[in-house]
Structure 1
Amino acid sequence: MFAAYAATTDPAEPLSALRVGDIAPPPAPDGWVGVTVKAATLNRHDLWSLAGVGLAADSCPMILGCDAAGIDDDGNEVIVHSVIGDPEAGGGDETLDPRRTLLSEKYPGALAERVWVPTRNLVAKPASLSFPEAACLPTAYLTAFRMLTTRGRLPSDGSVLIQGATGGVSTAAILIAHALGARVYVTSRSEAGRESASELGATAVETGARLPERVDVVIESVGAATIEHSLKCAKPGGRIVVCGSTSGHMATVDLRRLFFLQLELVGSTMGTIEELRRLTQMVAMSEVRPLIDSTFSLADAADAFARLDSGDIFGKIVVEP
């Protein structure tokens, strides 16, 4: 089976651990179903895996990729939910299962001709979405959706600040927040990033700049470099929802601001199968369409990874077997 996989892990040179070629199809656990992959997308998670974050070298070779849309063995067009977990163990939420994992961590991922998942992890793909568009939803768009709704509790006619303009979660948050009726502010260090965010309808400002208003929800994926600004931009009772820490994970927080303004500093990771269904329905019934940066064939996956690693992207990178 043709795939993009981690042959080993390399913290110093992650891309050196990537291989693209034939690999033996993995044995599927009992009760799992196969999906012929029509489109997959890359995430920062894939680079972390190559660097050995969440993936041990002795678990390699490991097929990479969390996101996929394709056709199951019964001929149904489906979207793959990449969280492998037990909702009952998480109190009804599989992302809270202490043993939960993602595709490409313990089980082979989606950057291949075929992927296998539990039957419950399949969501019907709406006919109105292309396979590349559908493949954008399970990680970045689901993460943004959960941050804005379940964790952020964005009110109707609310306001949102998104730290960083160009990543997959950030562009997803811009589009979803607009669809939910919010006023959207975005920060970026680069003029090009601010221009791109403005084209999507956001009010874009330089990183650290003062906003016209304090916001209900802050979408925080940058981490140490922006957390102080995020706290300052939240209105009393507002929520700073954190899903990443690309600039560093050790941050100093002014606890006086936190308790005096009764702010909520909230963590968020991925989303549930039910949230993916809600997101898919919202996208299908609206004008929201995932933003695609570029498309590569699976044979050219190394070029796709190099583009992701460069950071010079706006939207999602799609890989088609």
Structure 2
Amino acid sequence: MEAYVFDYGEWKLKKLPDPEAGPGEAVVSLKTAGLNRRDLYIPARRGNDREAVVIGSDGAGVVESVGEGVSAVRPGDEVIINPALRWFTKTGAPPEGFDILGMPDNGTMAGKIVISAEQLEPKPAHLSWVEAGVFALAGLTGYRALVTRGRLAPGETVFIPGAGSGVATFLIQFAKALGARVIVSSRSAKKRELALGIGADRAIGTEEDWQEALADETVDLVIDSIGEATFNRSFSVLKKGGRFVTFGATTDDHVDFNLREFFYGQFDLLGSTMGSREELRELLKLAEEEKIRPVIDSEYSLAQVGEAMEQLKESTQFGKIAIRIDD
């Protein structure tokens, strides 16, 4: 099979042996995969002196074969990959042994993947293959941050800095489905317009004075994944006693903030990472009921993953970047 790999310091398309299912495992013939920002960080985290690892955390396809002891799925089943490995029940933090698919385990940018059958979920019927292939990582990350950690309630207002990421486009749709008011920010007028088009109630510019722009709003919850560039600005618009959830740091991951203002404000500061299988199943149910779909920015073939990664580096996308495996 062909696979897109990071191999001894080099990105390349490489022929690899077809995988075989062992006990408890299934082989999935992949139709689509999704690119995520974590794929860009593999060189720094893996180093240049190790053999090929197949990148990719998201994917969808058809079960080709199963190993001994597998009964939950069978050949011919249409499935999506749950990239949150070995995290099954909703807990306060990931359990020992948790990891994200796509390093150190081989990921989804390949013709096939062998994976524990426990990591497979039925493909939602309302999603196309392209939509299913980009759903799980960003969707699960956003759902846990918004619902489990953020405790969003109907009628509340949530502020999401950075409107164009895959997670942000899910957050907007989830929050609206749950009856909330949604405010986003972006430096791009086009992204602000697109965010309003998928349900955001208000979109402000990154360059604006946020306290002034949102003086007439009561922000109950902030979901931030940008880090140092927006952290204190986001806190400045959050109501006293409000909740602040952070799940990423696309700018500097070290921030300074006024501790006295924080504890006098009675804020809740919450971290979040990915989510459990239990939360993914809750999310899939919500998506089915509300017909929520990923926002697809662009599609590339497996041979074009390098081009797709360049687009992701530039952060020009609005929504998800999909990879067509079966071209």
CA distance in 2, matches of 1:37, 1:95: 30
Contact kept in structure 1, 2:34 and 2:59, CA below 8 Å: yes
Contact kept in structure 1, 2:186 and 2:205, CA below 8 Å: yes
Identity %: 38
State whether structure 2 residue 60 is matched by structure 1 residue 69.
yes
* Matching residue within 227, 231, 250 for 1:223: 227
- Residue type of the partner of 1:3? A
How far has the Cα of 1:134 moved from its partner?
A: 1.4
How far has the Cα of 1:299 moved from its partner?
A: 2.0
State whether structure 2 residue 264 is matched by structure 1 residue 260.
yes
Find the counterpart in structure 2 of residue 7 from structure 1. Answer: 7
State whether structure 2 residue 323 is matched by structure 1 residue 319.
yes
Find the counterpart in structure 1 of residue 158 from structure 2. Answer: 160
CA distance in 2, matches of 1:102, 1:317: 18
CA distance in 2, matches of 1:253, 1:60: 42
How far has the Cα of 1:192 moved from its partner?
A: 2.3
Structure 2 unaligned blocks of 5 or more: 65-74
Find the counterpart in structure 1 of residue 305 from structure 2. Answer: 301
Cα distance, 1:92–1:168 mapped onto 2, change above 3 Å = closer
Q: How does 1:273-284 map to 2 (within 5 A)?
A: 273-284=277-288
CA RMSD of aligned residues (A): 1.9
Structure 1 unaligned blocks of 5 or more: 10-16
Contact kept in structure 2, 1:5 and 1:64, CA below 8 Å: yes
CA distance in 1, matches of 2:28, 2:320: 21
Residues 67-111 of structure 1: CA deviation (Å, up to 9, x unaligned): 011111321111110112255xxx854961233111111210001
Contact kept in structure 2, 1:79 and 1:134, CA below 8 Å: yes
* Matching residue within 110, 126, 131 for 1:128: 126
How far has the Cα of 1:28 moved from its partner?
A: 5.8
- Residue type of the partner of 1:244? G
How far has the Cα of 1:227 moved from its partner?
A: 0.5
Find the counterpart in structure 2 of residue 23 from structure 1. Answer: 16
Q: How does 1:1-321 map to 2 (within 5 A)?
A: 1-9=1-9, 17-25=10-18, 30-49=23-42, 51-53=43-45, 55-73=46-64, 74-85=75-86, 87=88, 93=91, 96-202=94-200, 203-207=202-206, 208-210=209-211, 211=214, 212-321=216-325
CA distance in 2, matches of 1:92, 1:182: 23
How far has the Cα of 1:27 moved from its partner?
A: 6.5
CA distance in 2, matches of 1:65, 1:81: 12
User: The residue matched to 1:116 in structure 2 has which SS?
Assistant: strand
CA distance in 2, matches of 1:237, 1:172: 25
CA distance in 2, matches of 1:230, 1:293: 26
Residues 100-154 of structure 1: CA deviation (Å, up to 9, x unaligned): 1111112100011111221111111122211211122211111111111000000
How far has the Cα of 1:157 moved from its partner?
A: 1.4
Cα distance, 1:310–1:85 mapped onto 2, change above 3 Å = same
Contact kept in structure 2, 1:37 and 1:70, CA below 8 Å: yes
After the TM superposition, which segments of 4 or more aligned residues of structure 1 sit over 6 Å from their partners? none
- Residue type of the partner of 1:76? D
Residues 215-236 of structure 1: CA deviation (Å, up to 9, x unaligned): 1211100100111012112222
How far has the Cα of 1:252 moved from its partner?
A: 0.6
CA distance in 1, matches of 2:262, 2:44: 34
- Residue type of the partner of 2:3? A
Contact kept in structure 1, 2:227 and 2:252, CA below 8 Å: yes
CA distance in 2, matches of 1:236, 1:217: 11
Moved more, 94-103 or 143-152: 94-103
Cα distance, 1:92–1:191 mapped onto 2, change above 3 Å = closer
- Residue type of the partner of 1:48? Y
